Chains A and B, each alone.
Chain A
């Protein structure tokens, strides 16, 4: 069992409240996944800039002087915004590879959680409301967000094993369920050059979609293909820079409820997650069908 929440805003006036709304939604899903939690939050990109979300087990040491070190290595100014165990490094977009290489070689204890012009990912072991508070989710703004509360089944309770998983620029996936063929699929994807940080089944699903999108498919097409290639139970919620997708396996035993108004599209593992959204009383509320790709793009 895990809990998923997602909110894709259509109405710009709600963007300053995205974090607060997501925070409330995530809080209702604590008992579906009390061991760890995480969220991806997307905001409008700054021209010519890219962000890398970083995580460290010793943030006081690792992030001290880190910005200056990267600025020196890539030869340009950077900015670093530290939030608890995570930090967002903002750099010119043409310096992304140089920065990644500098982090790997000079700062091996720092992990890269996500990269892209819009995405930031925060995730940790702990009770979901504590995790959300630690990163001050309620104060964040943006265009869309996806959150997850985890009750681990397929791999250890660790920071890296928490959701969301990001395996491509501005992409993320959260999963409720378990995959049966992730070991085989991981081997095949590795053969094609994909890299993995964990033994987690959900990371394989994320990498699979990235691999498909690298072949030129859009998110909706990649999700449709996954129905042929992924074996197991899943409800996925997936984010891209401009998009938001939902997919359930053909058996569809992992719960899902969606709501749509003129202002937003929202996802919850249960209706409880949606009850505090504005206008929910008159929203179109439905249960997504099995084997059916739901996909919104801005």
Chain B
């Protein structure tokens, strides 16, 4: 395991070293200590490595992640895992605004709460939040899944396209064109797989409600359903 101390090594050096890793990397396990709330820690990693960040980070941690498994042992500032492509990002504490925004793939797990705009414009990422999420979450969400074990704030799923939202707790209000939808067997199956990936046990899929697009705001054509 390689350990990088951000109180001694510059952030640029760390990210440069992480960017040099590829699919055949020898150094498979990285540990980052003293992140001190710094921005852009472990952004743009493109290798199947494991990165453990010991402490809280600032803006944009693990952005654009591809293949890597990145764990923040603490809380994350705005834009964590923004535009993630694949891999897994795990936050043991809370996440600030727009967690997982525009993400195209991979799994983002937040053990605590996520604040406003979680999953804004998500395009294929799966997000599992064990606590609550703030207002305007899943705004213009295009595809992927947002699973919330706690409550959702105001205007959930405003202007949503074809992302699927599962919320176990209360929803303060739904945004424009977002409606509650029936939980059919395939949704229970999808949800139970997502929960298993996120390491959630002893939670029944029957305790969730599903929300999605009423398809009145955008021009939905069933022939294009495969595109989502």
Contact = CB atoms under 8 A, between A and B. Distances in A.
B114 to A, nearest CB: 10
B206 to A, nearest CB: 30
Interface stretch (A188-196, A198-206, A269-277): A269-277
Given A275-B37, A286-B94, A270 B116 contact: no
Interface in A28-48: none
Interface in A242-256: 250-253, 255
B75 A272 contact: no
Contact of A270 (B58, B94, B135): B58
B63 interface: no
A254 to B, nearest CB: 10
A273 B56 CA distance: 12
Contacts of A270: 37, 58-59, 77
A272 B97 contact: no
A287 B96 contact: yes
B75 A271 contact: yes
Contacts of A252: 97, 115-116, 134-135
Contacts of A255: 77-78, 96-97
B97 A271 contact: no
Nearest to A287: B115
Interface in B33-92: 36-38, 56-59, 75, 77-78
Contact of B135 (A273, A275, A287, A290): A290
Contacts of A253: 97, 116
Interface in A277-291: 285-287, 289-290
Contacts of A290: 116, 134-135
B175 to A, nearest CB: 14
B111 to A, nearest CB: 14
Contacts of B75: 271, 285
Contacts of B57: 271
Main secondary structure of the interface of A (DSSP, over half): loop
Contacts of A286: 94
A272 B97 CA distance: 16
B94 A275 contact: no
A272 B7 CA distance: 13
B50 to A, nearest CB: 23
B77 A271 contact: yes
A271 B37 contact: yes
A254 B9 CA distance: 30
Nearest to B36: A275
Contacts of A274: 37
A126 to B, nearest CB: 24
Given A255-B78, A290-B135, A272 B94 contact: no
Given A255-B78, A287-B96, A272 B38 contact: yes
A150 to B, nearest CB: 20
B91 to A, nearest CB: 13
A255 B96 CA distance: 9
A281 to B, nearest CB: 8
Contacts of B58: 270-272
A5 to B, nearest CB: 13
B94 to A, nearest CB: 7
A251 B36 CA distance: 27
Nearest to A253: B97
Contacts of B96: 255, 257, 287
Interface string B126-143: 000000001100000000
Given A271-B56, A271-B58, A287 B37 contact: no
Given A250-B135, A252-B97, A290-B135, 8 more contacts: A255-B77, A255-B97, A270-B77, A271-B37, A271-B56, A285-B75, A287-B96, A290-B116
Interface of B: 36-38, 56-59, 75, 77-78, 93-94, 96-97, 115-116, 134-135
7 contacts: A255-B77, A270-B59, A271-B56, A272-B36, A274-B37, A287-B94, A289-B134
